[in-house]
Amino acid sequence: MREVSASPPQLVNSWNEWDPLQEIVVGSADHAAYEPTEPGHRPQVRARPGQPAPPFPSGPKPLDTIERANHELEGLVALLESRGIVVRRPDPYEFSRPLRTPTFEVDSQYCATCPRDVLITIGNEIIEATMSRRARYFEHLCYRRLVQGYWSEDPNARWTVAPKPTMADSMYRTEFWEWSMSQRYEAMHSFEFCISQDEVVFDAADIARLGRDILVQESMTTNRAGIRWLARHLEPRGLRVHPVHFPLDRFPSHIDCTFVPLRPGLVLTNPERPLHEQEARMFRDGDWQLVDAPQPVLDERDMPLHCQSSKWLAMNVLSLSPTTVVCEHHEEPLHELLDSLGFEVLTVPFRSVYEFGGSLHCATWDVRREGGCEDYFPHLRHHQAPGA
């Protein structure tokens, strides 16, 4: 009798933000540097009341700051492993080194705390984002060994590297940072920010997955060319790519502090950044519930001095299943809301990670979840990808 060979392992599979989690990558604060000033980013120290803001630091972050963040990241790892989830970590990389290419140079790089910004899993495919900032151009190298391992061990896994932009001066609007409030208001309602529309540019964290439907935020870190590239790449596979906009957000960057799908039919939303009215119809017509997050416990003035994200990191939660969510430990109003919606709420302290660019969703990249590609919006008509 001929022996039947075992099915190859499925290591790469994630179609949405909520199916039961099986394997994930958690970031690291090791060897992190302060983000440098560059055309796509102008970091600032948060001014305290009555005090002028000092210059933003440069070079490696202090060891004690790194150790506090790593301690909290290890707490998340321990929680995930206690739930039977496989956790992987990035390789070390010295981010304080300067970077020089034929089209740009930058004094230092950044960190490997937020894999969500760099990589996304859509079905059996891993996509490396272009990235939008010079200091993050080679951040994918921290995860290259892991990605290559998934691709080698899972014969059905796809691995796609999006076209790298030049990040030359011509890719940016350097005048963006000097615009008056009236200029900024006019530009933000036409969704023109610090990156131009010529090259393909997107960060993976501007994407939210809802089965067959993929949301992509147009922002300071993702332009229209980046959204077109994603549509041309994904829509021939039967997916639907939807550009989304949040007109009241003056500095939009990454969707997971603004619009967070929690389970089929439910999205946690930011009350200060509502979804564009026309785009919200997709959810209303599909009988989805959009629930505003409560005000965060920390005010903007209370956030870490060197954190470049807003207080809305509070709603940057990680779903372990359609009924289980991990939240930052101190955000009790959010815990109460999620509990009232039927979730098991797990908590870990995570505020020391904030100044490294994100919270629980940002600091993770889900590689494998149970489940397949479902259509949660059957009322939508199929549309062809631009140029397909």
| Residues with a known catalytic role | 203, 254, 362
- Exposure of 98 by Cβ count < 10 A (0-12 exposed, 13-18 middle, 19+ buried)? exposed
Structure tokens at 340: 């009232």
In 3D space, the residue among 273, 372, 279, 262 whose CA is nearest the CA of residue 323 turns out to be: 262
Measure the CA–CA gap between 113 and 115, rounded to whole angstroms.
Answer: 6
Give me the sign of the Cα torsion angle 104, 130, 60, 251: positive
Whole-angstrom CA distances from 116 to 3, 56, 360 are 42, 25, 10
Q: Contact, 326 vs 360, CB < 8 A?
A: yes
Measure the CA–CA gap between 204 and 129, rounded to whole angstroms.
Answer: 5
> Tokens 């397909």 — which residue?
388
Q: Contact, 199 vs 253, CB < 8 A?
A: no
> Tokens 């060197």 — which residue?
306
Radius of gyration (C-alpha) of the chain in whole angstroms:
20
**Count helices and strands in the chain by DSSP H and E runs:** 6, 17
Measure the CA–CA gap between 2 and 239, rounded to whole angstroms.
Answer: 40
**What's the DSSP call for residue 116?**
G
Q: Contact, 246 vs 276, CB < 8 A?
A: yes
Q: Contact, 32 vs 60, CB < 8 A?
A: yes
Give Cα 150 to chain centroid, integer Å.
21
